[in-house]
Every structure is written in structure tokens, then in C-alpha cells.
Structure 1
Amino acid sequence: MEKFILLIDTVTAWVGKAFAWCIMIMAVGIGYEVFVRYIMRDPTSWAFDISYMMFGALFMMAGAYTLSRDGHVRGDVLYRLWKPKAQAIIEFVLYFLFFFPGVIALIIAGWDYAGESWSYNSGRGEVSVMSPANVPIFQFKSIIPIAGSLLFIQGIAQVCRCIMCIRTGEWPPHLEDVEEMELVMQHAHVYDLDDQGDQGSQGNQDGKGNMT
């Protein structure tokens, strides 16, 4: 079961990191728009569309990756006070009460939404009616059911993780590829204290290496 969990975590991590490049595309597009709008006095007709499409794609496709790293919002005020086994039992129940029904609804509605978008313009696909550039958007609407499917698969892995924790009393490990800034700062603080302690020890020694 642990190998299955790590496999799903690896797949969703790869997808999330791949779509993280949308940030670069969005930044370049916005930067270019600012330059041509305020310097060249010749704004584009497509930069706004690119920005919300890239952000939407990143937001949807990184959802499963965020779930695999426990990055979504939860009531930590109470949750962190419970023992791991109690946490796992609560999460197990909530996944079936709320998560899976919501994700299944997202997949079904997203599939219909994307299919309708592909059928526009005699099968050539929907374009944005809000954009003077008529940017095609049918391919981006197709992301909705795909993202929902990834969330569903990752949800299965999370349920397996809950089952393992209920059996053993400990949460199985995650793939360690990202650290929260709070942990990074804590580690940096510990290293600073260690360095200060080493310097203090050296300062208390005389020239012969004896402690003074």
C-alpha cells in the first residue's frame, strides 16, 4: 500500500511541478503587457486572457499535488491537538462524506462543460467572447475534468494513508520535496545557535588550547 501511495504522490508531484511553469508564462505575458502599454503605448489584446488562463490552469492542476503534501486548509487549531490515529479516523470519514462526492460532481460537471465547449463553432471549439483577440478556451475548460480525476486518484492515496495510520498509529511519510518557510527558518535559527556555540567555545580557549 505504501508503494501505491508513493507512486500516486510522484505522479501528482510531476503534474503539479510541470504546471508550475504557468507562473513563468503568466509573468512574462504580464511584464510584456506592462512594457508595451506604458512604454510603447501599444497594449496587447491577449495578455489579460493569458494571465487568467495560466493562473486557472495552475490552480486546477496543482490541486492534487497540494493535497498530497497536506497543503490545503484545515482546522489546525483542533486537528494538531489530536493523536495521529484520531486524525486519520476523522480524515477517513470526511473524505467519504465530503471530498469524494464533491470531486465526482466536479468531474461529471466538468466533462459536460468541456464537451459543450469543444462542440462550439461547428466542432472547432469555443473562443472567449470577452477577448478582442478571440482566444480559444475550449482546451482550458478540458482541464476541469482532468484536474478532478487527479484529485480523485490522490484522494484514494490519502484514504490509504489514513488506513495505514489507523493500523500503525503513525502517518506514513510524504515525499520530501518542499519545506514550509517556517521549518526553513527554524532550521536556520538552529544552525545560527550552533555556530554561536562553537565560536563561544573557541573564544574560551587560551593560546595553548586550554580552557580559560
Structure 2
Amino acid sequence: MDRLNTIIGRLSGWLVFLMVLVGGFNVIGRYLGNALGQNLSSNALIETQWYLFSLVFLLGAAYTLKENAHVRMDVLYSGWPPRRKALADFIGTVLFLLPFSGFALWFTWTPVLNSWRIRESSPDPGGLPRYPIKSFILVIFILLIAQGLSQAIKSWAIYRGAIAPPSPSELSATVTVQPEREGHDDA
């Protein structure tokens, strides 16, 4: 599961590049089109940019979980020993992430199926169909459940001492904020 979510996460990174290109074209097309008296952009292109943003967010969530890069309040957690962190991660995953993802999957299933059933499309003229992008809501929660199970297994193994906790260099997604030095001037 880790490997699959790494591939999907890297793919979503390339979607950012594509999203920026589409967004740039939309902006240039709007201004150039206004100057030329032509419509060089469209609702479909604007919605394509929106869909790409949605895919980046949805497909990147499980990868972010795998990389331990979700935002968290590290007031207590950052000072804990690795085994206590692993136990906290295990409990959080089992009590919060997995049930939430399961409920979200359960409650979004019917609206997504209804969207496919009616072939829901954009209310804007020339817009894109909505039902394919809505399917990724289901995909995200399936990926989160699978990655959550992977994380829970690893956390439990660390807690039990079956595997070593990751070294600080392996936690590349962790950002440490350095306190400012007194008298330091960036100017």
C-alpha cells in the first residue's frame, strides 16, 4: 500500500504542474481574448483547472498520511519517545481515521452512484460532467483506509519493538521551526 500511495502521490504532484499550465492558459486566454474580442477560454477549461485541483487534494491525502506530513499539534507529541508516539499514532488511526473514513465512504457511496445514474453535469454552459470527479471521493477514502491500516500495522510493530522507529532523516516531511535569534536582522 505504501508503494501504491507513493506512486499516486507523485502523480498528484505532476497534476499540480498541469493545473498551473491550465490556469495560466485560462488567465492569458481571458486577457488576450478580451484584447482581441475573442473568447479564448471556456467553462470547460476553468472546470478542468478545478478538477485538477480536486484530484491533487484527493489523491494526495493518503500519500500525505504515509509521509507523516498532515498538520498536527505537536505540543506534547514532539517530546515523546518513539514507542509512545507509535502508540498514539496507532490509537488515533484505529479510533479516529479508520472509523471516519469508513463512515465517509458509507455516506458518500449513494450520492456518487446517483451522480452516475443521472450523468450529472455542470450547470454552466459548456461545462464538464461532474460524475467522474465525484467518484474520486470514494477513491480517497478507500486509499485512506488502506494507508491507515498500513500505518496502524507499522505503529503497532514499533510500539511492540518488532521494528525500529524511523530515524529523523527518514521523516523528511517533518518541518522544524527554528526560534528567531535575538538581535538577528535579515535586512
TM-score (ref. length: structure 2): 0.82
Say if 1:161 and 1:172, in contact at 8 Å, map to a contact too: no
Partner secondary structure for residue 109 of structure 1: helix
Aligned to 1:164: 157
Secondary structure of 2:154's aligned partner: helix
Q: Which stretches in structure 2 are left out of the alignment for 5+ residues? A: 179-187
Secondary structure of 1:71 counterpart: coil
Counterpart amino acid of residue 121 in structure 2: V
- RMSD over equivalenced CA pairs, Å: 2.4
Shift of 1:172: 4.4
Per-residue CA deviation, residues 97-140 of structure 1 (Å, 9 max, x unaligned), is: 211111001211222221011001xxxx11011x2213111110
Which entry has the higher C-alpha Rg, 1 or 2?
1
Q: Is residue 165–residue 172 contact of structure 1 (8 Å, CA) maintained in 2?
A: no
Distance change (3 Å), C-alpha of 1:136 and 1:173: farther
Aligned partner of 1:40 in structure 2 is 33
How much identity, in percent, do the aligned residues show?
Answer: 28
Note the alpha carbon deviations across 1:52-99, whole angstroms, 9 max, x for none: 111111101111111001010111121111111111111211212211
Matching residue within 9, 23, 37 for 1:16: 9
Segment drifting more, 164-173 vs 100-109 = 164-173
CA–CA distance in 2 between the matches of 1:153 and 1:54? Answer: 23
Q: Which amino acid in structure 1 is aligned with residue 68 of structure 2?
A: D
Over residues 134-177 of structure 1, what are the superposed CA-to-partner deviations in whole Å (9 max), with x where a residue is unaligned? 31111100001111001000001111111111122841479x6x
Provide the residue aligned with 1:55 in structure 2.
53
**Residues matched between the structures, number:** 171
When normalised by structure 1's length, the TM-score is 0.73
* Unaligned 5+ runs, structure 1: 1-7, 187-212
2:184 corresponds to which residue? none
